[in-house]
């Protein structure tokens, strides 16, 4: 793995619908080179949504690909601009990127150099936490997202975000796995601490796995840094 690979991050922001346009303006003002905006829905009970600062169930999800120094700077700016961690705000985090094609790496390397020239290096504030949280993602047939959350809550999960999508593939792939797969899917994303990660993954696999009606599978992704989750801590 090259040094450039190690410095790239996926930045995700999950925020309330009312802050989505403000977040879009910030991404545009900061000239973020690659970013996407998706629509999702929260799954937590209302009292947990209040704790997380995500007061409504409608969610906007922003996905960006950035050099690490740029991503760290954006986390600080997102926290300040959107007041992440306060009521009805949201959460943002970064995930290490293990690889990308050469063109993307080269272009983002240029962006990183330009960012370093135009921004003073600063220590990431202590409100940006490191290496304590993980994103657990479960992909299940449509209509089974709440079953995933019910299972995950039994092992300490507080809440999650659901994205709707469609499976793409051919009959050969379906036959290879030996299971019948519904096209419409729900992706349930759960942010949890390392202590609860394996119990949550095990209970989801047991109750919503490929042999269940949900026909699901579950993976985990390491989170590099996170903001907006302070009030979530025990």
Walk along the chain (234 residues) and give the pLDDT tens digit of each residue: 344 444 788 999 999 888 999 999 999 998 887 788 888 876 655 444 443 444 446 789 999 988 888 899 999 999 999 999 887 788 999 998 766 555 555 666 666 666 666 665 455 555 555 568 899 999 999 899 989 999 999 999 988 888 887 766 555 555 555 555 556 889 999 999 989 999 999 999 999 998 899 989 899 999 988 888 754 433
Encoding tokens for residue 64? 């960006």
Q: Measured between alpha carbons, how far is 185 from 165 in angstroms, rounded to an integer?
A: 5
Fold: same for 3-129+226-232 and 131-222: yes
CATH class of 3-129+226-232: alpha beta
> Domain 131-222 maps to which CATH number in 3.30.70.120, 3.40.50.300, 3.90.870.10, 3.40.50.10320?
3.30.70.120
pTM for this entry: 0.73
Could you please report the per-residue DSSP string of 80-125? HHHTBTBTT-EEEEEEE-----HHHHHHHHHHHHHHHHHS---PPP
Domain layout of the chain by residue ranges: 3-129+226-232, 131-222
Residue 110 burial (CB count, 10 A): 12
Q: Measured between alpha carbons, how far is 57 from 15 in angstroms, rounded to an integer?
A: 10
């Amino acid at each position: 793995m090259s040094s450039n690979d190690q410095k790239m991050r996926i930045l995700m922001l999950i925020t309330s619908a009312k802050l989505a346009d403000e977040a879009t303006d910030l991404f545009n003002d900061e000239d973020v080179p690659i970013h996407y905006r998706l629509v999702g829905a929260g799954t937590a009970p209302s009292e947990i949504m209040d704790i997380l600062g995500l007061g409504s169930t409608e969610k906007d999800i922003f996905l960006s690909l950035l050099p690490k120094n740029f991503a760290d700077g954006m986390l600080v700016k997102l926290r300040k601009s959107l007041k992440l961690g306060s009521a009805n705000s949201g959460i943002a985090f970064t995930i290490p990127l293990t690889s990308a094609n050469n063109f993307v790496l080269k272009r983002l390397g240029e962006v990183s150099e330009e960012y370093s020239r135009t921004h003073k290096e600063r220590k990431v504030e202590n409100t940006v936490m490191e290496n304590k949280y993980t994103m657990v993602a479960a992909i299940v047939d449509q209509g089974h997202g709440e079953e995933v959350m019910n299972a995950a809550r039994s092992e300490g999960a507080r809440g999650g975000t659901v994205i709707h999508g469609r499976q793409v593939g051919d009959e050969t792939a379906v036959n290879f796995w030996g299971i019948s797969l519904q096209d419409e899917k729900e992706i349930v994303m759960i942010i949890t601490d390392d202590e609860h990660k394996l119990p949550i993954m095990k209970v989801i696999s047991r109750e919503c796995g490929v042999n269940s009606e949900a026909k699901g599978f579950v993976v985990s992704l390491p989170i590099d840094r996170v903001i907006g989750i302070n009030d979530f801590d025990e």
